[in-house]
Amino acid sequence: MKRFLSLLAVAILAGIFTLGAYKIFLEPDTIVNQSETTPNLIPTNYNFTNTSANTIAASDIDFTVAAEKTVNAVVHVKQYGISRTPRNLMEFFRNGGSQERTIQGAGSGVIITEDGYIVTNNHVIAGASDLEVTLNNNKSYKAKVVGTSPQSDIALIKIDTDNKLSYIPFGDSNSAKIGEWVLAVGNPFNLTSTVTAGIISAKSRDLNERDDNIQSFIQTDAAINPGNSGGALVNTKGELIGINTAITSQTGSYVGYAFAVPSNNARKIVEDIIEFGDVQRGILGITGGTINPKAIETYDISTSQGVFVASVADDSGAKKAGLKVGDVIKEIDGLPIRKFADLTGYVNSKRPKDIISVKVLRKDKELTLPVTLSKYVIQNYNIADVGVEVTNPPKDYLKKFDLDHGVVISKALSARMQRYNLEGLIISEIDGKKVKTVLEVKEIIDSKYPDEDITISLVDRNGDKKEFVFQN
């Protein structure tokens, strides 16, 4: 045992000696900093490097100011309508297949004046017999429809209150830039006062080029879901730059793409309704389209962006100003025109008799022409659910029927209606509303649900008025 302990002690001493020799003779000198050190932590948020006075870091943008300015001016809009669909077989047999019951839809709206004017989407209030608006403080009011523009999906409604309301001022949607931060404020899935943030992803986006009414939306990736329709798209100053309207989705819920009617267009529609009672729509008086490779090759065009003029309407502002077939529209009032939706988006914010400056490219030469916009008039319209085509009445035609309003049936479309001699008869009212133009007929029909009945007031050749109900 003593021998073992002796050997262990010798081994320990040998190890100490070896380690000491290494420290003294072999290990290089090192300097040890005795001061207290802190770990070098890298923050997980992303910051831009400020390289100029105009560069703003993403983390420096404050959404709270815009949210506080706008959340109390966005309302919850509930609408009630009538359905005649029976709920069960008992109702079907008892009531001859018709049973009235209340249906409800919901969306959002934006207060734009302190005395209660509210802008929303037409599809939010279409077909409603009653409207109810709930403010952010949970107070509810009955609302009335002031006017609508189904083509632009904009409606103006109003509530009456003795209190001054919070409202959102209009901003300039033409000045909004791609990549700019925006907030969407609304009531998705009945979740009131919801704010989401994103950027402007694109401008002048058209969702339906098959329609003769080319649209021009602001596209954003701020989350918008069912119930957001009619709500506000605002910039970081809290200014209204769009009315949230639609999403593109295979599921019905938000998948990254949302669209808003530009505020300049919405503002013009609202002002028209208040001042004139309807929308005053100006047109340039051309047909054409966005330049594409085929057009470049066919017409030997030297530019890849703009709107190609395919035809010019007689007696239009474009014709009088000197626009010609083959011209390429490059700018309007200094605004670059890259595609047809750029053109219609800007022109739709103008009125008849407004003068705009149009820069065109004609055989490699640029010309600037002042164009006076004409009034938009629809000559014919098919009321598909009734089975007739209507047109605006010729001059003095209504006097024969002792009327000051109405549209003329120009053609029977369905086999059922062709059995009657309807050509030349007058439709004076639709659903109890007097109609003076084909455009008014279209607006009424566009504002209805697909399964709603249509009541037509028809004036026959003897001047007698009769009502007919067309059930869908």
| Residues tagged active-site | 123, 153, 229
C-beta of residue 117 within 8 angstroms of C-beta of residue 165: no
Strands (E), 206-323: 217-220, 232-235, 240-247, 258-262, 282-283, 286-290, 307-312
Cα–Cα separations (whole angstroms), residue 147 to 116, 168, 242, 443:
14, 20, 19, 10
Can you give the C-alpha Rg of the chain in angstroms? Answer: 34
What is the identity of the amino acid at 360? V
Which positions ≥6 away from 254 have C-beta within 8 Å?
A: 223, 224, 225, 247
C-beta of residue 167 within 8 angstroms of C-beta of residue 71: no
Structure tokens of 17? 């000696």
Q: For residues 80 and 102, give the distance between their C-alpha atoms in angstroms, rounded to a whole number.
A: 6
Structure tokens of 64? 């709270």
Structure tokens of 344? 């219609």
407 forms bridges with which residues in the sheet?
Answer: 427
Which positions ≥6 away from 420 have C-beta within 8 Å?
A: 412
Positive or negative CA dihedral for 286, 290, 296, 302? positive
**Per-residue buried b or exposed e for 301-320, using 16+ beta carbons within 10 Å of the residue's own CB:** beeeebbbbeebeeebbbbb
Q: Nearest CA to 346 among 355, 272, 337?
A: 337
Q: What angle do CA 329, 332, 338 make, to 5 degrees?
A: 50
**Rounded-to-10 torsion of CA 277, 278, 284, 285:** -120
Q: For residues 295 and 95, give the distance between their C-alpha atoms in angstroms, rounded to a whole number.
A: 60
